[in-house]
């Protein structure tokens, strides 16, 4: 009987579905960076433990976003129940409470300025685990049997009293065993989880294929345009709509001009299934390179590339872009002449108080001159007002690099170049 019970419990946990992508659970908040209305924000949906109950949603301001009004709409995709509210972006946002009626798939529609993003997510609530059931069940049964044993013992019927006490001991043993072994077992699926996929391709889902284009097709300098990334599944050709939040965003898009004077690190909005869009402006004509870093559920991270051209006379604002980089101190490199294929340390002072952004203190993005290589690493956890990165440049040559961190109301971008020597050449040390 007990063995059957334990076996059933083990089967329940072994066949439990793995946790899915955009989940709002009791333990974890869902954080998604968005570039919207010319501002950089992070949408936060707080984890919830009670459904029906309030879902708390806030908008953290990072750049040109303080006080930005955002309208919110949460809709249940199973019941259709819809609630609306408003939020204001702030460094420490006040959370808007929207009541959800059920667990399962939902979508959040976010509107700011003239832009709209639709973020799919799941509301999950942890069920009591099979282990909890066994612990409480075991203790409850033990308690009943013990009382029974004492009562029968008191009426001096030895045989039945022994039997009941033995049962009580077994109940306590089951409970104790579960307490000891349960931490080693994976938790069961929470309420509202996606049903386990039956036909999962072996080795995970294929990588997404991207088509990157701009609207209008030939943006003019100084004119706002939309960079659109359409993602399709390589095998089925259908839109890819299963991106997982990866470093707190559905996709990280880096756009640079060929010469590296233009740099944007943005977080496009999901505007339709498989479609990501971000509004940009470039002040100089020329060729631009775009990279999208994203992760498909059950597939791993990938880097997609594309490009577009800006045509026409340079816009007036183009002047300011070239001034800023020359004012910054050069970073400290160790070794002073980095060698291809070996780790180099890059250290530079932060500008102001460092606020975590995208889950990290600092980000370093590195591109080679022709744009065929793009690397991205994170700050090493240096205390104080310095940022330190370790990066292994793949080949000799000149690299364009941008170190980024968030501070109060602003994202600081520090561009610099690094010359990397081959392993054979003498190091200037
Ligand atoms: Cu990013």
Which pLDDT score is estimated for 185?
A: 62
How far is residue 35's CA from residue 223's CA, in Å, rounded to a whole number?
A: 17
77-115 burial: b if 16+ Cβ within 10 Å, else e: eeeeeebeeebbbbeebeebebebebbbbbbbebbbeeb
H or E segment and range at residue 168: helix 158-181
In angstroms, what is the span from residue 172 Cα to ligand 1's centroid? 52
In angstroms, what is the span from residue 129 Cα to ligand 1's centroid? 36
In angstroms, what is the span from residue 171 Cα to ligand 1's centroid? 53
In angstroms, what is the span from residue 258 Cα to ligand 1's centroid? 20
In angstroms, what is the span from residue 265 Cα to ligand 1's centroid? 6
In angstroms, what is the span from residue 63 Cα to ligand 1's centroid? 13
Q: From residue 268, how far is each of 97, 227, 254 by CA, in Å?
A: 25, 9, 10
The fourth-level CATH superfamily of domain 208-312 is: Macroglobulin (MG2) domain (2.60.40.1930)
Burial of 310 (0-12, 13-18, 19+ CB in 10 A): buried
| List of residues 6+ apart from 400 with CB closer than 8 A | 256, 260, 366, 367, 368, 369, 415, 417
How far is residue 281's CA from residue 220's CA, in Å, rounded to a whole number?
A: 9
In angstroms, what is the span from residue 266 Cα to ligand 1's centroid? 6
For ligand 1, a single-atom ion, the residues with CB < 5 A are 252
How far is residue 245's CA from residue 260's CA, in Å, rounded to a whole number?
A: 28
Which pLDDT score is estimated for 323?
A: 44
How far is residue 345's CA from residue 335's CA, in Å, rounded to a whole number?
A: 7
Which pLDDT score is estimated for 298?
A: 83
Query: Is 151:53 a contact under the CB 8 Å cutoff?
Result: no
User: Counting runs of H as helices and runs of E as strands, what totals does the chain give?
Assistant: 4, 24
Under-50 pLDDT residues of the chain: 6-20, 322-326, 427-429
Q: Indicate if 322-420 has the same CATH topology as 23-123.
A: yes
- The CATH number that domain 322-420 falls under is 2.60.40.1220
Which pLDDT score is estimated for 10?
A: 40
In angstroms, what is the span from residue 249 Cα to ligand 1's centroid? 7
Which pLDDT score is estimated for 123?
A: 92
- The architecture that CATH gives domain 23-123 is Sandwich (2.60)
42 token code pair: 């992070």
Q: What is the residue extent of each domain of the chain?
A: 23-123, 130-184, 208-312, 322-420
- The residues pairing with 253 across neighbouring beta strands, listed in sequence order, are 266, 292
């Amino acid at each position: 009987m007990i063995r059957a019970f334990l076996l059933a419990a083990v089967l329940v946990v072994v066949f439990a579905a793995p946790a899915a992508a955009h989940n709002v659970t009791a333990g974890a908040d869902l954080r998604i960076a968005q570039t919207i209305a010319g501002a950089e924000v992070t949408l936060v949906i707080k984890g919830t433990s009670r459904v029906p109950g309030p879902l708390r949603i806030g908008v953290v301001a990072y750049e040109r976003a303080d006080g930005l009004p955002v309208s919110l709409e949460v809709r249940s995709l199973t019941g259709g129940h819809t609630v609306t509210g408003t939020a204001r972006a702030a460094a420490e946002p006040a959370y808007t409470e929207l009541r959800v009626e059920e667990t399962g798939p939902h979508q959040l529609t976010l509107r700011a300025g003239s832009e709209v993003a639709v973020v799919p997510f799941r509301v999950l609530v942890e069920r009591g685990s099979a282990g909890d059931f066994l612990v409480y069940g075991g203790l409850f049964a033990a308690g009943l049997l013990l009382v029974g044993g004492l009562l029968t013992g008191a009426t001096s019927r030895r045989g039945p009293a022994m039997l009941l006490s033995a049962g009580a001991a077994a109940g306590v043993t089951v409970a104790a065993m579960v307490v000891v072994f349960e931490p080693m077992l994976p938790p069961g699926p929470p309420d509202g989880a996606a049903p386990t996929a039956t036909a999962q391709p072996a080795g995970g889902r294929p990588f997404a294929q991207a088509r990157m284009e701009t609207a209008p097709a030939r943006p003019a300098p100084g004119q706002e345009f939309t960079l659109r990334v359409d993602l399709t599944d390589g095998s089925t050709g259908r839109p890819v709509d299963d991106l997982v939040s990866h470093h707190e965003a559905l996709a990280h898009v880096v756009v640079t001009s060929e010469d590296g004077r233009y740099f944007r690190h943005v977080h496009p909005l999901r505007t339709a299934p498989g479609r990501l869009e971000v509004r940009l402006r470039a002040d100089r004509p020329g060729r631009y390179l775009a990279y999208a870093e994203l992760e498909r559920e059950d597939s791993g991270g990938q880097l997609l590339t594309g490009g577009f051209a800006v045509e026409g006379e340079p816009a007036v604002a183009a002047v300011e872009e070239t001034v800023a980089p020359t004012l910054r101190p050069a970073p400290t490199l160790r070794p002073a002449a980095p060698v291809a294929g070996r780790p180099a340390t890059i250290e530079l002072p932060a500008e102001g108080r460092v606020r975590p952004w995208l889950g990290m203190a600092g980000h370093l993005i590195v591109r080679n001159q022709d744009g065929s290589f793009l690397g991205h690493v994170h700050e090493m956890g240096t205390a104080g007002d310095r940022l330190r990165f370790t990066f292994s440049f793949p080949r000799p040559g000149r690299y364009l690099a941008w170190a980024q961190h968030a501070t109060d109301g602003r994202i600081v971008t520090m561009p610099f170049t690094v010359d990397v020597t081959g392993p054979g050449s003498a190091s200037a040390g």
